[in-house]
Amino acid sequence: MHGTPHIVSDVMTRTVVALGRGATFKDIVKTMQRWKVSAMPVLEDGRLVVGVVSEADLLPKEAFRDGDPDRYTQLRRLSDLVKAGGVTAEELMTAPAITVLADVPLAQAARIMARGRVKRLPVVDGEGALQGIVSRSDLLKVFLRDDEDIAEEIRHEVVAHLFPEPLEPIRVEVRDGAVKLTGRIGDTTLVPVTVRLVRAVEGVVDVDCALAGPPRRRDLDPDAPDDGPTAQPSGTGAGV
């Protein structure tokens, strides 16, 4: 696939700034500023990810610095109040950390990130040891994939398997990640399957499936027009 990224290890950053449990508040702030990062994994024994400290974990100390006269607000924000008193990474970190395995597909990593409402994920091996870190911008790199590379995968991995003998050649066009399929096929019930498989190809942004069914026999119905492209509901991110 000409180096096309498919799994987390293809796009992750392998050099990671990390902390030990005992790192102090000021050390954490200094490290963030020095390396220009907004979050860092916290490690046990220098390898196992046990939590993550982010800027959001540090802000409560400033928010509660002058005290909050509203007791109800204090109770409602009890977790923030506890973090406001934290002085080490172990006391400040969010734990357990939301992590991802290095061999996980990029789409799955994106779902984990969205569910956890986080901007980055520590990448770990099967034992939980740190391997790297992957960010939102890393996951978006897949959409930089070359259009012709996308088209070739669709031709070989989707079209060739679903339609080995189309009634008319199937044309695959890709422009800026948007795919258009044209041609004539014998079984239009395969159109929804085709759309799903094409949409799953790395780098695809949109799908316009204009595959037509068999032409009508004019000897049976002289007034009937040829079947045109089969309309396929687009769902999210697909056209017809």
Domain with residue 194: its CATH number is: 3.30.1340.30
* pLDDT score of 69: 52
Domain check: are 117 and 167 in the same one? no
User: How far is it, in rounded angstroms, from Cα 172 to Cα 176?
Assistant: 13
pLDDT in tens, 73-118: 554 455 655 566 688 999 999 999 999 999 999 989 999 999 999 9
Residues 21, 91: Cα–Cα separation, whole Å: 8
pLDDT digits 0-9 by tens, 114-133: 999 999 999 999 999 999 99
Q: Are residues 26 and 108 in the same domain?
A: yes
- Contact criterion met (CB below 8 Å) for 13 and 138: yes
Residue with tokens 């400040």: 92
Geometric angle at alpha carbon 1, from 175 and 120, rounded to 5°: 85
Closest CA to 49 of 24, 8, 27, 21: 21
pLDDT at 83: 67
The domain in which residue 31 lies consists of 8-142
pTM of the model: 0.68
Q: Answer yes or no: is 225 within a domain.
A: no
Flag whether pLDDT at 66 surpasses 70: no
Q: Rounded mean pLDDT of 37-54? A: 97
Residues with Cβ < 8 Å from 177, sequence gap 6 or more? 143, 145, 147, 150, 203, 204, 205, 206
**CATH number of the domain bearing residue 71:** 3.10.580.10
Whether 240 maps to a domain, the answer reads: no
CA distance 70 to 197: 55
Domain count for the chain, please give it.
2
